[in-house]
Copies of this chain bind each other. A is one copy, B any other.
Amino acid sequence: MMKWWGWGSEDVEFPMHNKPNLWPWICQQLRLDPTARPLKPVPRSAIALPPPVINQDCLGALEKVLRPDQIARSDDERLLHAYGKSYPDLLRVRRGQIDRAPDVVILPEGHADVEAVIREAHRHTVCVIPFGGGTNIVGGVNPLEPSGQMVISLDLRNMHRLLRLDEQSKTATIEAGALGPSLEEDLQRRGYSLGHHPDSFEFSSLGGWLATRSAGMQSDAYGKIEDMVVSLRMVTPSGTLTTRPAPKAATGPDLNQMAVGSEGVLGVITEATMRVHPNPPVRAYHGFLFPSFEEGYSAIYECVASRYPPSLFRLSDAHETELGFQMKGPARGLRGLIEGWLKTYLAGKGYGAPCLMIVGFEGEPEGVKAVRTGAFRILKAHRGFHLGTRVGESWSREKYNLPYLRDVVMDYGVMADVAETSTVWSNVLPLYRAARKTLEDRFRGDGRPFYLGCHISHTYKTGCSLYFTFAAWMTPGKELDEYYRYKRVITEAFVTHGGTLSHHHAVGIEHLDWMEREVTPTGVRALKGMKAALDPKGIMNPGKLIPASAPGAPWERPAME
């Protein structure tokens, strides 16, 4: 389990020691006082949880079907399940503000346990929030305001078995609670890989990936999680949905694609049969510098349209590239000299504010070689300056560390958050510029120093994702108001300028207000129809994904009249 107050394991911190330039640079950018006393999270002992709401009938029924150690009622467990890992989550938990925690944490050990829990919860009208790794950053695992009902956090951490591997069909049936590392270890021991590596990989689960339409870093090669799913089982209050393990079908709306992205509001995904691939013998990450974001964009665009799509593209804009450079280790002596010369040389060639691209290749040697040759030709034609594999390897080594940095800056009163979207190729640069400018203007208008970086990742034939990271110092006591001011600005920019509300972080509660504009009122009606059919009492993760009916909402209006 992760720390209750921040990202990652209790004993792991952001490795600042080998990045001598980073902290001074951050302090300078955000005008922080490095001598200020860090604002550490309150001690665990200072946190008082609200008393649990217990439905004795339901608890009694569960005690009959589960072992005592599958029903966790300690405050420590309740605290760990009270929040995900968004900035507002961490802000609240660091100051000990636990408005609502689940009342009971249940630990099923298989599909049948989940069926028993949902059956009893439905019978007794008790809320259930599915819980995978707890890394959600849109409020997806948070219990909402007290409703008088008991709330169960259904933690699938003990459901992590590789149930079946069909090597001929290249499919693996895996329990939904499997976290990234254990899932990959089980598969790689048998020579296979799922190839799904989101930033949260170390702490997030298969079920969570499916429920939120997660995207891994190598999605260019293996697809987004929804592209990898062959079939699944989802326990709903109306029974278990089991889809047929077939590559494709013409049997109505795709129920896999109804369960995927359902964020726990329809049911609990207990297992899934996923497309896997032989563990690639070659994995290589190369760095390239481009004179501008536009040139890098054009290079990616051309590669994707060609026969040479690498397995990973990640193009940082000049701002994110600058942050990346500041995270470099010290370079002294000859290496330092060479890097100095290089920088001067590149600046003279028009790379004064360069954009870093990481290009990844996976597969067997012959294939990787062919793809690399083709891709490099295109990248160089777009003035890509090849930095070799050192920067790529360093990126790969550090790729899971950035969330730890947020905990460090939060000690100094800094808000740090991310927002991602996707759009078609013709709209990528206009959307990038519009979102960037709108948020910049707001920060500047507020006279607030800020960091705002962006990268392109997750490419498709018709478009790609844009991933923004932003940070600024918030006024103590006003952090949430100020944060939402900026969060709303960038989300509005996405939705207004033709981007999606989210490319892979999901809706939860944080994006709820835009859902009707995202999917149209008719789309919201469709989601409500699914919900009413599968969860007639509304016990599954209430308040998430589907906006509530306000008076006069389309749901209430007479249809098309």
A311 vs B502: C-alpha distance when bound (angstroms) = 33
Q: Is A263 an interface residue (CB 8 A)?
A: yes
Taking the complex as formed, is A20 at the interface, i.e. its CB lies under 8 A from any CB of chain B? no
Given known pairs A261-B251, A500-B249, A520-B239, the reply for A168 and B465 (CB within 8 Å) is: no
- Does A506 lie at the interface of the complex (its beta carbon under 8 Å from any beta carbon of B)? yes
* A 336-372 to B, binary, CB cutoff 8 A, 1 in contact else 0: 0000000000000000000000000001001100100
Asked if A461 and B247 sit within 8 Å, CB to CB, the answer is yes
Cβ–Cβ contact B258 & A253, under 8 A = yes
Indicate if A281 sits at the interface (CB-CB under 8 A).
Answer: no
Q: Which residue of B lies closest to A514 (CB)?
A: B251
Interface assignment of A171: CB less than 8 Å from any CB of chain B:
yes
- 6 A-B residue pairs with Cβ-Cβ distance under 8 Å, sorted by A, are A118-B560, A169-B424, A215-B248, A253-B261, A525-B533, A529-B530
A241 vs B215: C-alpha distance when bound (angstroms): 25
* A529–B258 alpha-carbon span in the complex (Å): 12
Decide: A275 and B525 in contact? CB cutoff 8 A. no
Distance (Å) between the CB of A298 and the closest chain B CB? 11
A523 to B169 Cα, complex, angstroms: 25
Q: Is A464 an interface residue (CB 8 A)?
A: yes
A254, A255, A506: which has the most chain B beta carbons within 10 Å? A255
Given A169-B425, A241-B520, 17 other A-B contacts at CB below 8 A?
A: A123-B560, A123-B561, A168-B424, A168-B426, A170-B461, A226-B248, A226-B254, A236-B522, A239-B559, A242-B523, A250-B500, A251-B502, A252-B506, A252-B515, A252-B527, A253-B260, A277-B461
Provide the bound-state CA to CA distance between A496 and B545, in Å. Answer: 37
Name the residue in A169, A214, A242, A506 with the highest tally of chain B Cβ atoms < 10 Å from its Cβ: A169
Interface residues of A in 392-436 (CB under 8 A from B): 421-427
Q: How many copies does the complex hold?
A: 2
On whether the beta carbons of A250 and B214 are closer than 8 Å, the reply is yes
Q: Which residues of B contact A122 (CB under 8 A)?
A: 559-561
Tier of interface size on chain A? 35 or more
Give the shortest distance, in Å, between A501 (CB) and chain B (any CB).
Answer: 5
Q: Is A160 an interface residue (CB 8 A)?
A: no
Q: Is the Cβ of A224 less than 8 Å from the Cβ of B248? A: yes
Residues of B within 8 A of A533 (CB): 525-526, 528-530, 532
Residues in B neighbouring A421, C-beta threshold 8 A: 246
Residue pair B247, A462 in contact (C-beta under 8 Å): yes
Residues A251 and B169 in contact, CB atoms below 8 Å apart: no
Interface: A14 (CB within 8 A): no
A528–B507 alpha-carbon span in the complex (Å): 25
Q: Is the CB of B247 within 8 A of A464?
A: yes
Cβ of A518 < 8 Å from any Cβ of B? yes
Interface centre among A169, A427, A560 (most CB of B within 10 A): A560
Interface 1/0s, chain A 492-508, versus B by CB < 8 A?
00000011111111110
Assess whether B503 is in contact with A245, with CB atoms less than 8 Å apart: no
Provide the bound-state CA to CA distance between A498 and B241, in Å: 16
List CB contacts (< 8 Å) of A262-308 with chain B.
262-263, 266, 275, 277, 301, 305, 307
B246 with A169: CB separation less than 8 A: no
What's the Cα separation between A236 and B109 when bound, in Å?
42
Q: A169-B463, A230-B424 are in contact. Are A518 and B248 (CB under 8 A)?
A: no
**CB < 8 Å: which of B239, B500, B507, B521 contacts A246?**
B500
Instruction: Flag whether A94 is at the interface (Cβ < 8 A).
Output: no
A252's partner among B166, B277, B519, B554 (CB-CB below 8 A) is: B519
| B530 lies within 8 A of A534 (CB) | no
Q: Does A55 contact B (CB under 8 A)?
A: no
Residue of B nearest to A533 (CB): B529
A111 within 8 A of B: no
Question: A437 interface residue, CB < 8 Å from B?
Answer: no
Q: Does A19 contact B (CB under 8 A)?
A: no
Q: Convert A530-544 into 0s and 1s, putting 1 for each residue whose CB lies closer than 8 angstroms to a CB of B.
A: 111110100000000
Chain B positions within 8 Å of A522 at CB level: 236, 238-242, 534
**In this assembly, does A458 line the interface, its C-beta being within 8 Å of a C-beta of chain B?**
yes
Chain B, residue nearest A532 (CB): B529
Q: Find out whether the CB atom of B251 lies under 8 angstroms from the CB atom of A424.
A: no
